[in-house]
A and B are shown apart, each in its own frame.
Chain A
Amino acid sequence: MDSFAEQELLAQAQRGDRQAYGALVGRYQQSLFAVCYRLLGQRQDAEDAAQEAFVRGFRSLAGFDRQRPLGPWLRQIATNVCYDLLRQRPSTTVPLLDEHDGFDGRSGGWRETEQAQIVRERQQQLWQAIRALPPHYRVVIEMRHFQELSYGAIAAQLNLPLNTVKSHLLRARKLLLERLGPESE
Chain B
Amino acid sequence: MNDPQLTLKDELLLQAYLDGELSPAEGHQFAARLTAEPALRAAYDQWLSLLAEFDGLPEPQLTRDLSAGVVRRLSPQMPTPVWRPLLLAQATATILLALLAWPLLAVLTPTLPNWTPPDWAALMQGWQTAAGLWQLTLSRWAAAWQSAFEAQPLSLSLLLPLAALAAVIWFIQVGYLWRATPARR
Contacts and interface: CB of A to CB of B under 8 A. Distances in A.
A137 interface: no
Band of interface residues on A: 35 or more
Contact of B66 (A34, A51, A126, A174): A51
B82 interface: no
A65 B6 CA distance: 45
Nearest to B47: A173
Interface in B43-61: 46-47, 49-51, 53-54, 56-61
Interface residues of B, number: 37
Interface stretch (B13-21, B24-32, B149-157): B13-21
A54 B60 contact: no
B36 interface: no
A51 B69 contact: yes
A59 B182 CA distance: 11
Contacts, number: 118
B64 A37 contact: no
Given A100-B61, A166-B12, A54 B66 contact: yes
Interface of A is mostly: helix
B89 interface: no
B59 A59 contact: no
Interface in B91-127: none
Contact of B49 (A54, A59, A178, A183): A183
Interface of A: 16, 18-19, 21-23, 25-26, 29-30, 33-34, 37-38, 43, 46-47, 50-51, 54-55, 58-62, 100-103, 105-106, 119, 122-123, 126-127, 144-146, 150-151, 166-167, 169-170, 173-174, 176-178, 180, 182-183
28 contacts: A19-B71, A21-B71, A21-B74, A22-B68, A29-B62, A30-B61, A33-B62, A34-B60, A37-B60, A43-B63, A46-B60, A55-B70, A58-B74, A101-B60, A126-B54, A127-B57, A145-B54, A150-B21, A151-B19, A166-B12, A169-B19, A170-B12, A173-B50, A174-B1, A177-B46, A177-B47, A180-B53, A182-B49
- Pairs of residues from A and B, 10 with the lowest C-beta to C-beta distance, nearest first: A102-B58, A25-B67, A33-B62, A37-B60, A59-B185, A22-B71, A22-B67, A145-B54, A54-B70, A26-B67
